[in-house]
Amino acid sequence: MKKTIYILFAALLAGITLASCNDDETYAEQKEKERDAVMAFIKRQPITLCDNNGDTLLHLTAINPISIQQFEAQDSTTDVSKNEFVFFNNTGVYMQIVRKGTGQPLNSGERKRILCRYWEYNILGDSLQTSNLSTYWSTNPEIINASNTAGTISGTFDTSVNGGGPMYLVYKDVTVPKGWLVPLTYVKIGRQTQPDEGIAKVRLIVPHSSGHKYATQGVYPCFYEITYQEMRD
């Protein structure tokens, strides 16, 4: 396994160590710590999130949460200039739609293979955890096999191309985190065909209950920036 994998595992283990509680802490206390971390992250003064090389990922100002009612009244959009994130009470996920995308939504009865490019930031550990934006991962794309069954969206990571991307290779779980699937109800999944078009792009705050299995076990939230692009047949 290449050095990059070891770096990812080292960052992951460090994040879990910070996120995990000692034996005296209850699950309720762990969840309270997670909620406090999310609230602090939302209210933080402008910060710069960087990767492990010190390169800038995102300049982030204080987040402006909006209700699902306001989100729907705005034609299911979020105002990026105001740094709006819609809060979903049922999942605890916060979502900002940076771009709605091009093409068509994932409609009921449809299946699509979706290429995702992303980075994942451990909020409790305050560090980059995984990403597939480097040249190293160009041969291991993050592909989701997604389907919409009567409005319920599910997905698995496709491991057929070189064993899968970092979300599978690091966490060893083909099930796509529920938080990653939330945007698929609201964005369009297609391919860029015109210079002024852009594929779907979102930012998410995902609590442990909607995250991957390591986040679930460690009771920690993650911040994501993800693009969604339909794969060619």
Asked whether 166 and 140 are in contact (CB, 8 A), the reply is yes
Give the chain's mean pLDDT: 88
% of the chain at pLDDT higher than 90: 71
Q: How far apart are CA 197 and CA 102, in angstroms?
A: 7
Amino acid code (one letter) for 132? N
Question: Residue 230 in contact with residue 190, Cβ under 8 Å?
Answer: yes
pLDDT higher than threshold 60 for residue 162:
yes
Handedness of CA 90, 95, 100, 102 (dihedral sign): negative
Query: Confidence band (pLDDT; 50, 70, 90) for 164?
Result: very high
CB 85 within 8 A of CB 77: no
What domains sit in the chain, N to C, each tagged with a CATH number?
Answer: 3-230 (3.10.50.40)
Tell me: the pLDDT tens digits for 36-86? Answer: 999 999 998 787 887 777 788 888 889 999 999 999 999 999 999 999 999
Give every CB contact of residue 20 below 8 A, 6+ residues apart in sequence. 218, 219
**Model pLDDT, residue 5:** 41
DSSP letter string over 89-148? TTT--EEEEEE--SSB---TT-EEEEEEEEEEEETTTTEEEEE--SGGGGGS-EEEEEEE
Beta strand 111-122 pairing with 222-230: antiparallel
Q: What percent of the chain has pLDDT over 70?
A: 89
Tokens of 171: 């966490």
Torsion on CA atoms 130, 126, 28, 63, rounded to nearest 10? -100
pLDDT score for 19:
45
In angstroms, the CA 212 to CA 207 distance is 10
* Alpha carbons 25 and 232: distance in angstroms, whole number: 48
Q: What would the two tokens of residue 162 be?
A: 């070189």
Q: Summarize the confidence of residues 23-33 as an average pLDDT.
A: 90
Nearest to 122 by CA among 189, 202, 191, 57: 57
Residue 9 has pLDDT above 70, yes or no: no
End-to-end CA distance of the chain: 30
The pTM of the full predicted model, rounded to 2 decimals, is: 0.89
Q: Rounded distance, CA 124 to CA 215, Å?
A: 10
